Structure 1
Amino acid sequence: MGLLGPHPRPGDPPRLPYSHPETRSVTIKAHNATALSSSASASGPASGASRRFLPEVQGLRAVAVGLVLVYHVDHDLLPGGYIGVDVFFVISGFLITSLLLREAREHGRVSLSRFYARRIRRILPAASVVLAVTGVAAFWLLPAPRLAEIAKELAASAFYVENLLLADQSVDYLSAETAASPVQHFWSLAVEEQFYLLWPLLFAGWAMLGLRSDQRLGRRRVVLAAAGTVLVASLVCSVVMTAADPQPAYFLPQTRMWELAAGGVLAVVLTRYGIGAVWARWALAWAGLAAIGWAAWTYSGQTPFPGIAAAVPVLGAAAVIAAGEHHPRYSAYGLLSSAPARFGGDISYALYLWHWPVIVFALSLRESDELPLLSGVAVVIASVLLAWGTKVAVEDPVRRHGLLRSGRAAAAFAVTAALVVGLIGAAQFARYEWLRSVEFDPVVHVGPAALGTSDPFGSTDEQIYPSPVAANEDLPDVYDECQASPRLTTLQKCVYGPDEAETTVAVTGDSHAAQWVPALRKIAEEQGWRLHIYAKSSCAFTLTTIELNGKGYDECAEWNKTVMEELTTDVKPDVVFTSSSVGADAADSATESESKLDIATGMSRLWGPLEDAGSQVVAIRDTPRTGERVPECVSRHSRESPECMTATADAFSEQDPQLIAAANDEDAEVIDLSDEFCIGDTCPPVIGNVLVYRDSNHLTATYAELLAPQLRATAADALEQL
């Protein structure tokens, strides 16, 4: 059963909702009688603004956290369960705004220091415990290659900027295969805290306008207009950014704050207006739950989100809250205010904090991206028990004993908690640095030269280079200099070698072409070539529009046309080396076979003009796909462990579009170095004491460079013509 679900960016982190910990039981203190007189007459005794306890909101929190649990246990059962985050944002905005309104009315001002002290008291104790325990557990339960990234995310989570880190990583192609972090779910807490740097200022200014009764209506309009402006501006930003670049848009505060503002606007409106008819409240509450359920059932990882799609769960949550208390038979209020629902709401914050690290650790121990049914049930039970224990041992004592009530105590706790988590992260990073410190020795680290010897894997007495923990850093130089990101369409290239070189060579394709640059640069230096590199992430060298993140990758097609124009009219290389991942799919093809054939056809349409312009096209067969994060497997087991081996039959695809295109192009050459990766019927992770892969399908730069002699020998026929 798939637990990670759809990701909104390469290496997409999972969509995780956030349960707001405003109180264990959702309570809003009553306003003074004068302030509530108009509200009570409009909405009756069921108004959310006039009741001290809102059990239906507590139950709504249970619904939202239930959505995410089902989603993460098996996202096929509830593919849109990630919309729980939107429900929680609305609840949070409503509760916080209601408290700000009450404080402004009762005290004539809004104390920012008291507001932030309250936030620290409600948020940090449980969050700090979970971060600290998770950081320590990661030492023992997660593979060493993850330590550096987890250390970074621990710090980002402790300082509530995890969402900004994930937004940045979402546009980083190199993070595409990064395993899920056990603390990445703190992104939604970060969004809230960033929102609450701004939101209280509206009400602090509103309270300063004065409290004379004849000004009350005007002041309400002012704060409603200000809150509405935030809502509309953020919604527009969300729609525009989600359409343009959905991966980072998923995490950014400017695309999410309208959801919190929607709850805030609702709180302001309910101080003046309400729904008097019981039947209308009954219908509105069920309609709200239906909207939430419909979105959870019909949305998926392919739904552009947040954008306008988030309006469905946001309006659904707002409808449930606005309906308030009503007691007809079979009411949504009766369901949400039941004892089980209230218990779910009581532990929802702690349950949100715990469930994701428990899932990540369970997946790591199983060395899988999925959990079977019984394991999924065990994860849920463990998460609930941890959440209940945290509520009893951490959250309740802080509330009952009046801890962290002063601004000074709250600030001291916040600093201390951040330092503790930071020290744990620093310890992880120190261990990572120690494990990665392996020096390259050309006598020991021979790579493919060991193939055919009695010890092809290398001696277990020698260290592997690069170290598995540093494999993701063993990259071709093009990633620092000229690897084009997916959204880039303007030409970006690297050029190596002397201007006066007699031979010009070009390299085109995606990251599976870029991985050959270390070997080709070595050959070019030996031969005195001028080498031009045109590499674009996830962009196969074809005129066929391929798919990226569920939609047509138009930037790739435009890039390839630009590259072609330069190659045929300006550079005119003697040889064009090209390679692409067999994992690419055509955007409009019905089947996999049709997809590969369409991509091959698009390749032929590029190769023909190159050959007509005098260039020799040399296609390099794609490298093995292991289906395993190889560095993590090697760090957990050993270089010769069967768990880290890949069957040769599974490692290569016969539907490589380049092979299909070359079969129909008698002038194109094909380089097949399959024998340099596999020994008999298996492809090992380490050859000649050198780690072959930096993830599941990309070569380390070291192993690629050591393949230069084999690459040159295999390409001899094409190179003889130079």
Structure 2
Amino acid sequence: MIVEQLVDKKYRNDIQGIRVLGAFIILIFHIWFNRVSGGVDVFFVVSGYLMASVLVTDYLNHGFESVLCFWARIAKRIIPSTITILIVTVVAGYFILPPTLIEPFLEEVISVLFHVENIKLILNSVDYLAREFPPSPVQQFWALSVQVQFYFLLPFILLPSLRVSQATNSLNFLFFVLFTLILSSFCYSLYLTSIEPSTAYFHPLTRAWEFFSGVFLFFLIKKIKLKSRVSGLFSIVGIVLLLCAALLVSPDLNYPGYVATIPVCAAILLILSGTYEQLYVNKLLATPWFSKMGSYSFTIYLWHWPVLVFYREINGGKEASLLGGLLIISASLVLAFLTSEYVEKPLKSIDKSKWKLVGVSSVAVSCSTAFFCWWLLIDYRSLQNEVYNSIDSKVVATDWSPEYVNIATTIDDNYANITRKQLLAVRWNRPKSIREGCQQRPTISDLIICEYGNLNSDRVLMLVGSSHAAQWMYPIEQLAIEYGFKLKVMTKSGCPFGALQNSGNSCSQWNKQVIEKLIEDKPSLLIVNATLTSSVSKEFVPQEWVEQWKLVSSEGIKIIGIRDNPRRLEDLTTCISRNIQNYNLVCRLDSSDLLDNDVLLEHALENVIDTSSYFCSDGVCPPIISNFIVLRDKHHINELYVRHISHEIQQKIKSFYPELF
């Protein structure tokens, strides 16, 4: 029978070596280069190849009951080490991570326990504001989540196809199914990577073709006969491709997309080259050291990330040095060895009759860990609700000063008594429009229009742009209420008024609709961002914005621009948490590196509100002003600080167009 011929009882030590290559490439490029390397793609191809072999063997031994056998094998291999790594990481993370990072960390731990970490990261990538926080110590589990999802799906695709193959004594139908899946997934990967790469990176459908390539290779490999020279050439080309994927692929390229074909092809060539006669590279990969390390490879991958994250936290967020990186790798190897020797191996040796007890115990520990994390999250959730429920009442508090306080008095070595509650609450201090869901997602071009103020008024104020426009909503809404305007807010995450070259098609389409709406409504006043700041370069005025302003002005619409606030490389609350004793020195910014006063001298807009004095004085931009943490992440202003300076903003708006007020 044709299916029986697929079973190969020869153990491929060199495949373990391929897994080692993938693991160490990941470690090296995560630790010292902080970018994608293609190592995970190698894992996916190898997993597809090996799991096809396991499933075919189980199918021949147990028929369709092999589904349960297959899943039991996977659970036996994955659950013990996963729970062990998670428990250690949760305990260490609770004591090492800044309090501002505990909540998203615990949320991800729960996602990992249910093998949906990649879905959680997709949701975070869609949530523009959630992107501002550094990766959690369990983010690496996204790859395991994708693998588990593939393992769950594989029997439902493979077993019916194998049944057809047995009936027809041909693999043609199976090849057709696999080829269709590979092509469909690859095309979807190209599409999604082009429009939303951050989502595509974690999406199971963009990665499915990599797994199914390994599955396809398993069934195809028996039909391929390679000469020695060709095998040797394939192994060398495979290594070269793997190194090219790691060394030459620019981090600016969207991933996975077509770029992922490089490490995938590398893995395929390396597997092919060692099928019949192992030469050169494959002999090296099959040596005892590589074979032994291969059994630890994925555990090494799972351990290296929390070790790296905790190393950075202990060192104040700094990247690892050469020595530090070697320590991280050494620690990962030791932890992987201990996990294998004292968790995985003892469980493998347990009698089959006791595996039901082990399974029940594993589920119980997983659920207990999830419950513990959920219990810890209650405190954070209650704080979020408290912030949301009280933020609108704080403007009338007796200790609230509606007038601007000169920030020069705060730029010294005196430190405000910053509490844990303040640090945790500041991330939720968002504008009303964002809290109410009135901001379009990055990938969607449809307009979301929210109205505030006097809803029956014919006089209209419009606030348009990205989240950097939305953060100025409060003072504008108060003007609308006081002077009888209707305020219309149209904002979109990551999309300014005037789409930039790198803004994407969604932003361009959204801007076209905004222009049409502006021309239709003819607002009394349009308020937009006037400049664009960056954490790595000086402030400037994009030409695309200027063209858009000219277009709107030609329709007789009055415009006021608000100068952008300074941006940071690091989340501010995290910086303060890491440096609570000297945050004024460590977390301050040099305004000369970020702001450029020359952009205001010949600005295309006649009326621009210069906000720089609200954030910087004498060349320094302090992290805390008048006891307010200025930013709630890397570059969005704390809503309470906006309210603190709102009186000044309102006065400047009225001074530009007194006839409207």
Q: Does 1:292 align with 2:292?
A: no
Cα gap change, 1:546 to 1:707, in 2 (>3 Å): farther
Which whole-Å CA distance do the structure 1 matches of 2:447 and 2:383 have between them? 39
Moved more, 440-449 or 388-397: 440-449
Residue 559 of structure 1 corresponds to which residue in structure 2? 510
Residue 169 of structure 2 corresponds to which residue in structure 1? 217
What do the CA deviations read for 1:526-547 (whole angstroms, capped 9, x no partner)?
Answer: 222222222222223336x332
Q: Does 1:54 align with 2:12?
A: yes
Q: Find the partner of 1:281 among 225, 228, 231.
A: 231
Q: Does 1:241 align with 2:199?
A: no
Contact 1:486 1:537 in 2 (8 A): yes
Residue 355 of structure 1 corresponds to which residue in structure 2? 304
Task: Give the CA deviation at 1:507.
Answer: 1.7
Q: Find the partner of 1:631 among 563, 573, 577.
A: 573
Q: Does 1:306 align with 2:256?
A: yes
Contact 1:185 1:356 in 2 (8 A): yes
Task: Give the CA deviation at 1:51.
Answer: 4.2
Q: Does 1:534 align with 2:490?
A: yes
Q: Does 1:333 align with 2:282?
A: yes
Residue 386 of structure 1 corresponds to which residue in structure 2? 335
Which SS does the other structure have where 2:132 is aligned?
A: coil
Task: Give the CA deviation at 1:68.
Answer: 0.3
Task: Give the CA deviation at 1:690.
Answer: 2.7
Which SS does the other structure have where 1:174 is aligned?
A: helix
Unaligned regions of 5+ residues in structure 1, if any?
Answer: 1-33, 40-48, 586-590
Which whole-Å CA distance do the structure 2 matches of 1:36 and 1:492 have between them? 56
Contact 2:526 2:559 in 1 (8 A): yes
What do the CA deviations read for 1:334-376 (whole angstroms, capped 9, x no partner)?
Answer: 1111233223312212101100111111112222252222222
Task: Give the CA deviation at 1:573.
Answer: 2.3
Task: Give the CA deviation at 1:571.
Answer: 2.1
Which whole-Å CA distance do the structure 1 matches of 2:33 and 2:410 have between them? 45
Task: Give the CA deviation at 1:198.
Answer: 1.9
Which whole-Å CA distance do the structure 1 matches of 2:606 and 2:463 have between them? 15
Which whole-Å CA distance do the structure 1 matches of 2:63 and 2:488 have between them? 69
Contact 1:510 1:581 in 2 (8 A): no
Which whole-Å CA distance do the structure 2 matches of 1:279 and 1:51 have between them? 25
Instruction: Tell me the matched-pair count.
Output: 652
Which whole-Å CA distance do the structure 2 matches of 1:287 and 1:227 have between them? 25
What do the CA deviations read for 1:79-119 (whole angstroms, capped 9, x no partner)?
Answer: 651x1111111111111111121222344554222211111
Letter in 2 for 1:195: F
Contact 1:284 1:323 in 2 (8 A): yes
Letter in 1 for 2:211: L
Task: Give the CA deviation at 1:207.
Answer: 6.1
Which whole-Å CA distance do the structure 1 matches of 2:407 and 2:217 have between them? 73
Cα gap change, 1:430 to 1:644, in 2 (>3 Å): farther
Which whole-Å CA distance do the structure 2 matches of 1:87 and 1:386 have between them? 23
Contact 1:445 1:688 in 2 (8 A): no
Cα gap change, 1:125 to 1:465, in 2 (>3 Å): closer
Q: Find the partner of 2:547 among 602, 605, 608.
A: 605
Cα gap change, 1:579 to 1:644, in 2 (>3 Å): farther
Letter in 1 for 2:29: Y
Q: Does 1:490 align with 2:439?
A: no
Task: Give the CA deviation at 1:581.
Answer: 5.9
Task: Give the CA deviation at 1:72.
Answer: 0.7
Residue 70 of structure 1 corresponds to which residue in structure 2? 28
Q: Find the partner of 2:118 among 134, 143, 163.
A: 163
Which whole-Å CA distance do the structure 2 matches of 1:647 and 1:232 have between them? 49
Q: 1:300-449 to 2 correspondence within 5 Å?
A: 300-324=250-274, 331-368=280-317, 370-402=319-351, 406=355, 408-409=356-357, 411-433=359-381, 442-444=397-399, 446=401, 449=404
Which whole-Å CA distance do the structure 1 matches of 2:290 and 2:361 have between them? 32
Residue 610 of structure 2 corresponds to which residue in structure 1? 672
What do the CA deviations read for 1:426-467 (whole angstroms, capped 9, x no partner)?
Answer: 243145357666766623454865547977999989776972
What do the CA deviations read for 1:178-210 (whole angstroms, capped 9, x no partner)?
Answer: 210111111111111111222113444356569
Which whole-Å CA distance do the structure 1 matches of 2:608 and 2:421 have between them? 29
Cα gap change, 1:700 to 1:206, in 2 (>3 Å): same
Residue 577 of structure 1 corresponds to which residue in structure 2? 527
Contact 2:98 2:578 in 1 (8 A): yes
Cα gap change, 1:646 to 1:279, in 2 (>3 Å): same
Which SS does the other structure have where 2:556 is aligned?
A: coil
Which whole-Å CA distance do the structure 2 matches of 1:343 and 1:66 have between them? 14
Which whole-Å CA distance do the structure 2 matches of 1:413 and 1:164 have between them? 26
Q: Does 1:649 align with 2:612?
A: no
Residue 30 of structure 1 corresponds to which residue in structure 2? none
Letter in 1 for 2:191: V
Cα gap change, 1:604 to 1:199, in 2 (>3 Å): closer
Which whole-Å CA distance do the structure 1 matches of 2:2 and 2:351 have between them? 28
Contact 2:454 2:481 in 1 (8 A): no
Which whole-Å CA distance do the structure 2 matches of 1:465 and 1:62 have between them? 43
Identity %, equivalent residues: 27
Residue 705 of structure 1 corresponds to which residue in structure 2? 643
Which whole-Å CA distance do the structure 1 matches of 2:96 and 2:496 have between them? 37
Cα gap change, 1:297 to 1:673, in 2 (>3 Å): closer
Residue 126 of structure 1 corresponds to which residue in structure 2? 81
| TM-score in terms of structure 1 length | 0.82
Letter in 2 for 1:413: S
Contact 1:511 1:538 in 2 (8 A): yes
Cα gap change, 1:304 to 1:677, in 2 (>3 Å): closer
Residue 202 of structure 2 corresponds to which residue in structure 1? 251
Contact 2:454 2:480 in 1 (8 A): no
Task: Give the CA deviation at 1:216.
Answer: 7.4
Q: Does 1:112 align with 2:67?
A: yes
Which whole-Å CA distance do the structure 1 matches of 2:495 and 2:643 have between them? 23
Contact 2:4 2:60 in 1 (8 A): no
Letter in 1 for 2:429: D
Task: Give the CA deviation at 1:265.
Answer: 1.8
Contact 1:202 1:223 in 2 (8 A): no
Moved more, 148-157 or 111-120: 111-120
Cα gap change, 1:581 to 1:377, in 2 (>3 Å): farther
Contact 2:232 2:273 in 1 (8 A): yes
Cα gap change, 1:186 to 1:88, in 2 (>3 Å): same
Residue 11 of structure 1 corresponds to which residue in structure 2? none
Q: Does 1:695 align with 2:633?
A: yes
Letter in 2 for 1:200: P
Which whole-Å CA distance do the structure 2 matches of 1:98 and 1:558 have between them? 48
Residue 7 of structure 1 corresponds to which residue in structure 2? none
Q: Does 1:685 align with 2:623?
A: yes
What do the CA deviations read for 1:593-634 (whole angstroms, capped 9, x no partner)?
Answer: 8x946x1x3333233343343333221111122443112233
**RMSD of aligned C-alpha atoms?**
3.3
Contact 1:574 1:615 in 2 (8 A): yes
Task: Give the CA deviation at 1:217.
Answer: 2.6
